[in-house]
Amino acid sequence: MPAWLRVMPGRWPDNTQTCVLCNLLYSHAMQPLTQLALTLRRLADRGHCVFAASDLAGAVPDCRHLAGLLSRATTTGLLKRVCRGIYLYPVPDYPLAHLLFHAAARLRAGEFNYISLETVLSDAGVGSQVPMNWISIMTSGRSHVVDCGDHGHIEFVHTAQRPEDVSQELTYDSDRRLWRASVRQALRDMKATRRSLELVDEEVVRELV
């Protein structure tokens, strides 16, 4: 018998103990999908609703088939799959324009990442428009393009630069939850990765750099 079910011999639990015991019994018997739904409803909010699969595993520690559970969660509409291993729990007023950035932050949470290249130049009005729903991220990890279906694509581009090498050129973008390069650093990254600079407005660059 689990330790939390034991009652001292010769004693009946009082009302408080009974309530706690009932809650424990209910949680113990609760189906994983229901347990996940209740946990998300209680803890998720506008600022915390994009999760890696490993994050969600913590909500259902006794579930032995997480992949199957997450598949059911997306089928029922509890979660929306963003890309492999990343899920969105729909909450009111979530800024979908930031979803790719939030997904990128979760995908490479253990690495050094920052927004750069055409994404920064386009935002600053220095370069041509980037493809719709495409963001470029410099990363200490490997280069890779992540297909996020209807949401777009995340392009990770490897850099050997360390945080201390570029710290003066980075600012933290709290809305996107990633570091962001200055225009000057984005241009350096463009050259280092041999990206085309043909569509970059040189006059505007001189004013900003």
Task: Kindly report, residue by residue over 145-173, the tens digit of the pLDDT.
Answer: 999 999 999 999 999 999 999 999 999 99
Task: Kindly report, residue by residue over 72-124, the tens digit of the pLDDT.
Answer: 999 999 999 999 999 999 999 999 999 999 999 999 999 999 999 999 999 98
| pLDDT value at 2 more than 60 | no
Domain 32-94, second-level architecture: Orthogonal Bundle (1.10)
Residues 6+ apart with CB under 8 A from 86: 50, 51, 52, 53, 103, 106, 107
CA angle 137, 141, 144 (to 5 degrees): 60
- Mean pLDDT value across the chain: 86
Q: Please give the C-alpha separations between residue 163 and each of 52, 142, 166, 167, 181, in angstroms, as whole numbers.
A: 24, 16, 6, 6, 11
Spatial contact of 154 and 104, defined as CB atoms under 8 Å apart: yes
Domain ranges of the chain: 1-30, 32-94, 110-208
Task: Kindly report, residue by residue over 32-73, the tens digit of the pLDDT.
Answer: 999 999 999 999 999 999 999 999 998 898 888 999 999 999
